[in-house]
Amino acid sequence: MHNRTKKAISLVWIVMFVFLAACSKQGSGTAETARPPATSDNAANSNDSPSPGKEERPLYTIKYMYPGGTSKFKKSDETTVGKIIKEKFNIVFEMVPYAGDWGEKVNLMLAAGDYPEILPIQFNENVSKYIQAGAAIALDDYMAKSPNFTERYKSQIPYWRALAAENKLYKWETSQSDLNTNIKGLDVAVRIDALEKQGWPKLISEDDYVKFLKQAMIDFPETDGKKTIGMSSLFGESYGMAGIAGIMYEKGGRYTGVAGNGGVIWNHAEQKFEDYLKNEYVLESFKFLNRLYREGILDKESFTDRAAQVQEKANSGRALSMWYSVWLVDSANKTLEKAGHPERQYITLPIRSNTQIERNEKRLIMELDLAPFNSVVITTKAKDPKRIMELVNWATSEEGQLLLQEGIEGKHYTVENGKRVPTDLLIKHMDNPAESMEGIGAFGFLGSDTRAAKNGQPYPLEVDPDLRDKLSLTEKTKEAYTKLGWKNSVDYWQQTSVGAPSGIVPSIQIDPSSDLGQLQQKLVEHRVKNTAKLIMAKDDADFQRIWESMLKEYENMNPQSVVDKYNQMYKEMIDKVKK
């Protein structure tokens, strides 16, 4: 059996902020040269020798500072993919990780006038600062010779232009996703021996989970000599109380998490922003967690636990279930197998509130056609923006996307019956990309589209549901899904969900330094501070008392003004794009 893949693409909203920023220098004047890049007309034959008389270009070295993470290689041409980029464009990237607050670093670089050639920026607010300061280059002059770029992003470009007062294009975004990319919901991870003990029950509703977990704690009172936990969660993370405590809202048929964890959520059905705290499904989420707490099911340490603590509890199988943090499952299952306890492995199952069950609406799965948190600009520090855009144009072609995200045909994948099939080398890379020298996925800032390629498969094969199962499921977890009557690990979501395009919603952000931005922060802080009290309420009457007091103080801060501002900004941007 193949080793399990690590979750290379975090269902967009978790996991996905690995960017590269650039600081360039010209080559040292060596004799090393390369042919001009392939154009859209000759991309299919781009490995041919350059035509006589074509300009040979000097080595162009660009230093990249990227937020978070590390890289085994220091220069792009140490990798397989990087060598091809150098061969085609004679461009090499020097990789420099940055461990601090990236948003703060971006602003400090602008203030000092010391920013790199290519800069990944999280959210439009900071992009606008670079545009207004004259630090970002308008890309319009390069569009005529960027057919791949303009075709791939034809629906996004009008919205990117709307960011600038003069309607010029200053940026692109990466990590577009669709239903297939995000098909498995971040719901509940459940221990399979507990499911087997109860005859493989169908778990979906709040009532289903309470009944199941109460019995499971009776069936498995201890794990390795320690008291078994009914459900663990990572509310101690920064996004814990702010986001996942109320996350039940995204399990229904009207909302997704596309608006983030601020003061509002997005109603896809009615195409408008609504108040986060006063949403009926958010309240149901709080009530469900309170019910688990009162039944002794929810781990009392969840309020301070972060991912590392929840992972530790999952690695031993001590937690019978995990709320939301299903990305920890692969590592836990691998550890449990090695420890000789494959029966304690986890699978991911769906949950919906009782009201959502009654309404029986198709669940919405977020599709990110716009991803402002993955914005990229070329700055005025760029020594040769034309060459950079030629590279970006190639990167956004079919050839470029396949190479950047899957590597070389025949080496990293083969094509059988029109479908790409990963080789052992690609599987090895997927299993531990941090230690890989292939460079696959390392240059996503040039363009990284996780949606379907021309053959219908996603560009990154690791997000293909069938392949993901083949590489990640063990014999025990495969058996568990079979016992439940599922065809694969995402069968439930495939049968009950539809895609919900994000549109411009992720681009709508209130300036945090404005009066309304500061008010929104206070509203979120109020919600976070009181959510733990709600979850720990001793009974229904206590819950209602805390809720009414919490809501009264909340309403006194005028939260509707924030909601109204979001809807105003949404309408203004829609109107601007239509003009």
- pLDDT above 70 (res 131): yes
- pLDDT above 90 (res 37): no
pLDDT tens figures, 247-304: 999 999 999 999 999 999 999 999 999 999 999 999 999 999 999 999 999 999 999 9
- Percent of the chain at pLDDT > 70 equals 90
- Return all residues near 421 (Cβ < 8 A) that are at least 6 apart: 413, 414, 415
- pLDDT above 70 (res 23): no
- Percent of the chain at pLDDT > 90 equals 78
Q: How many C-beta atoms surround the C-beta of residue 523 within 10 A? A: 21
SS3 507: helix
| Higher local confidence (pLDDT), 396 or 37 | 396
pLDDT tens figures, 39-82: 333 333 333 333 333 468 999 999 888 887 777 899 999 999 99
User: What is the pTM for the complete model shown?
Assistant: 0.84
- pLDDT above 80 (res 35): no
Say which range, 12-26, 310-324, 441-455, 564-578, has the weakest mean pLDDT: 12-26
436, 428 contact by CB (below 8 A): yes
Per-residue pLDDT band for 29 (boundaries 50, 70, 90) equals very low
Say which range, 26-30, 156-160, 337-341, 402-406, has the weakest mean pLDDT: 26-30
Instruction: Give the pLDDT confidence score for residue 42 in this predicted structure.
Output: 34
| Terminal CA-CA length for the chain | 56
Kindly report the three-state secondary structure assignment for every residue of 169-194: CCCEECCECCCCCCCCCCCEEEEHHH
In whole angstroms, give the CA distance from residue 211 to residue 188.
Answer: 15
Instruction: Give the pLDDT confidence score for residue 10 in this predicted structure.
Output: 38
> What pairing do the DSSP bridges indicate for beta strands 419-422 and 188-191?
unpaired
Cα–Cα distances (Å) from 453 to 183, 186, 229, 441, 466, in that order, read: 17, 25, 43, 16, 16
Structure-token pair, residue 47: 């490995």
Residue 491: phi and psi, rounded to 5, are: -55, -45
- pLDDT above 60 (res 12): no
User: Average pLDDT of 474-498?
Assistant: 96
Instruction: Give the pLDDT confidence score for residue 20 in this predicted structure.
Output: 26
* Amino acid identity for residue 299 in this structure: D
In whole angstroms, give the CA distance from residue 500 to residue 361.
Answer: 13
Instruction: Give the pLDDT confidence score for residue 8 in this predicted structure.
Output: 36
State the chain's mean pLDDT as an integer: 89
71, 78 contact by CB (below 8 A): no
- Return all residues near 540 (Cβ < 8 A) that are at least 6 apart: none
pLDDT tens figures, 205-261: 999 999 999 999 999 999 999 999 999 999 999 999 999 999 999 999 999 999 999
| Cα angle 244, 246, 249; round to 5 | 105
Instruction: Give the pLDDT confidence score for residue 33 in this predicted structure.
Output: 32
In whole angstroms, give the CA distance from residue 420 to residue 413.
Answer: 6
User: Average pLDDT of 421-430?
Assistant: 93
Say which range, 7-16, 19-28, 482-491, 540-549, has the weakest mean pLDDT: 19-28
251, 356 contact by CB (below 8 A): yes
In whole angstroms, give the CA distance from residue 484 to residue 305.
Answer: 31
β-pair partners for 415: 420
pLDDT tens figures, 314-361: 999 999 999 999 999 999 999 999 999 999 999 999 999 999 999 999
SS3 267: strand
In whole angstroms, give the CA distance from residue 120 to residue 67.
Answer: 9
Per-residue pLDDT band for 5 (boundaries 50, 70, 90) equals very low
| Higher local confidence (pLDDT), 235 or 183 | 235
In whole angstroms, give the CA distance from residue 308 to residue 469.
Answer: 25
Rounded to 10 deg, the angle between the 385-395 and 80-89 helix axes is 130
- Return all residues near 42 (Cβ < 8 A) that are at least 6 apart: 48
pLDDT tens figures, 288-323: 999 999 999 999 999 999 999 999 999 999 999 999
Kindly report the three-state secondary structure assignment for every residue of 354-402: HHHHHHCCCEEEEECCCCHHHEEEEECCCCCHHHHHHHHHHHCCHHHHH
Instruction: Give the pLDDT confidence score for residue 55 in this predicted structure.
Output: 62
User: Average pLDDT of 409-420?
Assistant: 95
How would you classify residue 132: left for phi > 0, otherwise alpha for psi between -120 and 50, otherwise beta? alpha
Rounded to 10 deg, the angle between the 515-535 and 540-555 helix axes is 170
Question: Position of tokens 């608006």?
Answer: 259
Nearest to 347 by CA among 183, 187, 179, 182: 187
- For the chain, which domains are there? 21-177+373-462 (3.40.190.10), 188-367+473-507 (3.40.190.10)
- 26-37 burial, b for 16+ CB within 10 Å, e for fewer? eeeeeeeebbbb
Per-residue pLDDT band for 576 (boundaries 50, 70, 90) equals confident
Per-residue pLDDT band for 529 (boundaries 50, 70, 90) equals very high
